[in-house]
């Protein structure tokens, strides 16, 4: 169960790194989307993350599943919140954002893929 930590009028749920890890480990088909630029991901990304830089989310929304939970992540959580807002504007509803981004994921001791 995910604790809803959204602020009023946000079309996504804010997650801690721990909550995101539990969702991804549940094997329910949750999709993780890293919205950083390619050069930023060279230091590592959340395992299984699809790279979709935030400036391409609008044009690539059709690549996002409508029937699965989608977790957005960036470096610290700002661009991923914007990506979730864009996805919501395009009609998607099962949207999540990792508070603190990849930095929080790493600080929690979770692995990164290169």
Each residue's pLDDT expressed in tens, for the chain with a length of 114 residues: 344 556 668 999 999 999 999 999 998 899 999 999 999 999 999 999 999 999 999 999 999 999 999 999 999 999 999 999 999 999 999 999 999 999 999 999 999 999
Q: Assess whether 74 carries a catalytic annotation.
A: yes
Domain 13-107 classified CATH 3.10.20.30?
no
Q: Which of 74, 75, 98, 104 is catalytic?
A: 74
Looking at residue 5, its pLDDT comes to 54
Extract long-range pairs of 51-54: CB within 8 Å, 24+ residues apart: 52/83, 54/79, 54/80, 54/82, 54/83, 54/86
Neighbours of 29 (CB within 10 A): 9
- Whole-model pTM? 0.93
**Rounded distance between C-alpha atoms, residue 36 and residue 38, angstroms:** 6
């Amino acid at each position: 169960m995910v604790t809803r930590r959204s602020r009023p009028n946000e079309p996504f749920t804010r997650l801690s790194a721990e909550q995101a890890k539990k969702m991804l480990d549940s094997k329910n088909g949750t999709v993780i989307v890293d919205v950083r630029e390619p050069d930023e991901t060279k230091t590592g990304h959340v395992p299984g993350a699809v790279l979709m830089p935030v400036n391409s989310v609008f044009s690539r929304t059709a690549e996002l599943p409508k029937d699965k939970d989608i977790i957005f992540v960036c470096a610290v959580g700002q661009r991923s919140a914007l990506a979730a807002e864009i996805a919501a504007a395009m009609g998607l509803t099962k949207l999540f954002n990792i508070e603190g981004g990849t930095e929080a994921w790493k600080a929690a001791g979770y692995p990164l893929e290169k």
